[in-house]
Structure 1
Amino acid sequence: MNGGDEVGASSDLPPPLDWRFSQVFGERSAGEEVQEVDIISAIEFDKSGDHLATGDRGGRVVLFERTDSKNTSGDRRDLEETDYPLRHPEFRYKTEFQSHEPEFDYLKSLE
């Protein structure tokens, strides 16, 4: 086997994504406390995959729309079987609204 062939093939691929788990929007500094109402509790795509909605415990709904084009031809299963390099979808902020007011938790309150 020639190791040089593998190096040439891998240089054509985009760098791997750096995944980080976050259940809130925005950057948080070390030690910054996350408020309960800011925790994302729901995520949903529409049938086309062009829109994404998120909801948090504070009753806020944030909508995003896809900005990259779906220029891949072929069935997803076929593309996965051939290990076709797919671009990850990109979304941009579209709008947000308040769906409801957060509920007061009487059980956790001392008042």
Structure 2
Amino acid sequence: MEGQPAAIGPQAAEQAAPRTVVGDPKGVAEGVPTAVLPDPPRGDGRYPIAWLQICAPRGAVPTATSKCLCGRDRSAIGHGKVHALIADHEAHRDTCPIRTPQEGRTAA
């Protein structure tokens, strides 16, 4: 069959030349540390136990939420009530059972 292109069929792909290996074999993916890292710093032992969140968008009614790990969960809506909740949250620091030593507990 003259004038027609030669039939193109599956051909074997050229094999790449073997690469030379340099260095130690990798045990894990590139960039992953293989050594165990030390624990992160622990800090000074303090941690939060109570949160006061206040939202006062311009021109809107302010809201506030006071939460504590002791189970206290209060909220307020409006200027006067939010101010009262802020004062109550500050006063809770002295009465919180988590922060104040319990009777009968021995001093460390």
Q: Which has the higher strand share?
A: 1
TM-score, normalised by the number of residues in structure 2: 0.24
The TM-score, its normalising length taken from structure 1, stands at 0.23
Higher relative contact order (CA 8 A, sep 6+): 1
- Which structure's CA Rg is the greater one? 2
